[in-house]
Structure 1
């Protein structure tokens, strides 16, 4: 083999190693972006309908309590016990449930502005899809790392690499 042939082999090896590392960095970039998109989905506000439903459930739960009955029982009981100075929020909520619903409901509606909320079902569906894609990227990264190791190239794994990808069978990665 001549010096020219050896140079070509070395150049091809270097180019192959660079391609491998470039591909690895591209996959890692996609992992970062996918994690960011998962965070955005997780932090997206609930849909306006769900927010208002939560408000209604809270008001119903708060006003349905026995606080009003317990307070009334203090006055009816033969041994009068003066109510504490602090009025329980349940009693206030029961007294002004309608205006409270309008006040907080209006604030909820205003808080959305141009933003759109996401329903719990849509959030779960989008998270499942994004997390599945993330796992695919993690497995692709692990496949590249294992291939590099077989070629004698040491590649450090990310400290936050998904253990499911790192520990999976080599057959699964092919």
Structure 2
């Protein structure tokens, strides 16, 4: 009977050790996922941000000029552009007019706007450089590889526990590549 008790104690200790390993593996997965989220949320570099702003300036200015209908100036009866203010049952809707005016401001004051926006972005970056697109892709791939590796370790532990007769639940968000991996491809 004493041998049975010793065997049970060893089995219980082994199961507890496997549960601890499983917890550590799941923590490693969560940490790697948090790193990936931080990479994806990291601000882009100043040059890319300014390029996006420049693209917006160009689109806003082009749209404003197009929406003014200056092509009608060729008509002898034309007396100048009018800002489109819509009369609705609830009053006046000046959205289109404001968009046109904003586009014209972008057209006329693009250099000044760009300087102001650049200063604001530099302040928000607080001396940091931001992340280039290529760096983001590289770091995201590294984090995704870490996540997969952690999930493969987790699957190895789960299968070991199941083989020992311990019931364990898999995470519902586990990577299918880990769940379907052959036993030979799991870490040793």
Report TM bin, short chain. 0.7 to 0.9
Selected match of 2:53 from 52, 55, 58: 55
Consecutive unaligned residues of structure 2, counting only runs of 5 or more, are: 85-96
Residue 173 of structure 1: aligned partner: 186
Residue 68 (1) aligns with residue 65 (2): yes
Residue 129 of structure 1: aligned partner: 142
The TM-score normalised by the length of structure 2 is 0.81
Deviations 1:39-97 (A, max 9, x none): 1111100012221222223323433x264365432333224264224261332211111
CA distance in 2, matches of 1:119, 1:66: 29
Kindly state the Cα deviation for residue 107 of structure 1 after the two structures are TM-superposed: 1.1
Residues paired across the two proteins, number: 171
Residue 138 of structure 1: aligned partner: 151
CA distance in 1, matches of 2:15, 2:126: 50
RMSD: 2.1
CA distance in 1, matches of 2:120, 2:140: 28
Residue 12 of structure 1: aligned partner: 10
CA distance in 2, matches of 1:140, 1:114: 39
Consecutive unaligned residues of structure 1, counting only runs of 5 or more, are: none
Task: Tell me: CA distance 1:66–1:36, structure 2 relative to 1, closer, same or farther (3 Å).
Answer: closer
CA distance in 2, matches of 1:153, 1:172: 22
**1:1-174 equivalences in 2 (<5 Å):** 3-63=1-61, 65=62, 67-68=64-65, 71-80=69-78, 82-85=81-84, 86=97, 88=100, 89-174=102-187
Task: Tell me: CA distance 1:76–1:100, structure 2 relative to 1, closer, same or farther (3 Å).
Answer: farther
Runs (4 or more) in structure 1 with deviation over 4 Å come to: none
Kindly state the Cα deviation for residue 141 of structure 1 after the two structures are TM-superposed: 0.6
CA distance in 1, matches of 2:63, 2:28: 54
Which is worse superposed, 45-54 or 84-93?
84-93
CA distance in 2, matches of 1:71, 1:36: 51
